[in-house]
Amino acid sequence: MKAITACLFAACLSTSALAAEPVKLWESSGFANPESVLWDSAKKVLYVSNVNGSPPDKDGNGYISKLNAEGKVVVEKWVVGLDAPKGMALFKGRLYVSDIDRLVVIDTASGKVSKTYPAPGAKFLNDVTVDDKGVVYVSDMLDNVIWALNGGKFDRWLSDAKLENPNGLKAESSRLLVASWGPMNGNGFDTSKPGALKAVTLSDKTIRDLTPGFGNLDGLEPDGKGGYVVSDWMAGGVFSVSRQGKVAKLLNVKQGSADISTLPEQKLLLVPMMMDGVVAAYRLP
């Protein structure tokens, strides 16, 4: 595993000058289909989920890598024996990872799997988010379902075609944000129209669009200014979405820009490039 570092993380945090466009700070290569990257502020490390094969295959090849704050690999295969790990979320020292048809819980102190929650009938569990009460939400992109882990029970929370193949998730106080892939037309992952950013009200599960459709959406993170940063996997690229729902291209990258992370206070964007085996860090404007 090779890491190429253009800027030390600590130095990046203290730099005040910002460019008009995102500036690449470092790039780390050698991953095996990296789908998601997540910063652990308590341990000052990054976690990267490696599908290491075909995303729907239950082959036992998937693993989680651990990187330091400068993008250098600390442990290439920190957690092994997964199938095709994708989205990740942290809560109180536990790392929740989607793995096709199950939710895997990893103790970040030991690096051991502490619990596995099967999702009977799930087709393609993808992103994971957790709210401030510890409820974990997981999207099933191919089944128009959102699952929830609450009180030790992992069940279907919402099943609705209006989700339009939900991918990225972000839990807020009163709503769940959904980055949709777009309604699939039966030809692989092709869609009949682009996916939009949506909001699901937690109290009554009503769904509404926050933006027009603008891509096959994947990662979804807050920008620290009341808006969001969203990636488009198929066309490649990262977009900003204002609190008013205005969409603008933020970054041009190739196909495979997957489950991003942001560190709004440091104005940092972390992008896993699934097709290229690369994770890159950018300074946001």
Domain tally, the chain: 1
pLDDT of residue 43: 97
Q: Is the pLDDT of residue 8 over 50?
A: no
Backbone angles phi, psi at 57, to 5 degrees: -85, 130
Using one digit for the tens of pLDDT, what is the confidence trace for 217-244? 999 999 999 999 999 999 999 999 999 9
Q: Which residues pair with 210 in a beta bridge?
A: none
197 vs 184: CA distance, rounded Å: 16
What pLDDT score does 20 carry?
Answer: 55
pLDDT band for position 10 (cuts 50, 70, 90):
very low
Task: Return the percentage of the chain with pLDDT > 70, whole number.
Answer: 93
Neighbours of 190 (CB within 10 A): 11
Output the domain CATH number for residue 225. 2.120.10.30
Say if residues 10 and 267 touch (Cβ distance below 8 Å).
Answer: no
Helix (H, G, I), strand (E, B) or coil at 12: helix
In the predicted model, what is the mean pLDDT of residues 131-144?
98
**Per-residue pLDDT, 179:** 99
pLDDT for the residue numbered 3: 41
- For residues 11 and 105, the model is more confident at 105
Which of 5-9, 139-143, 200-204, 276-280 has the least mean pLDDT? 5-9
For 147-176, what is the mean pLDDT? 98
Among candidate residues 55, 58, 78, the one with its CA nearest the CA of residue 68 = 78
pLDDT digits (tens, 9 = 90+) for 68-121: 999 999 999 999 999 999 999 999 999 999 999 999 999 999 999 999 999 999
pLDDT digit string (tens) for 20-64?
589 999 999 999 999 999 999 999 999 999 999 999 999 999 999
Instruction: Give me the amino acid identity at 120.
Output: P
Spatial distance between the Cα atoms of 10 and 32, rounded to a whole number of angstroms: 27
Specify the amino acid at residue 49: S
Which pLDDT band holds residue 18 (cuts at 50, 70, 90)?
Answer: very low
pLDDT at 21: 83
Query: Strands of 153-159's sheet, edge to edge?
Result: 125-130, 136-140, 145-150, 153-159
How confident is the model at residue 275, as a pLDDT? 98
Residue 260 has pLDDT above 60, yes or no: yes
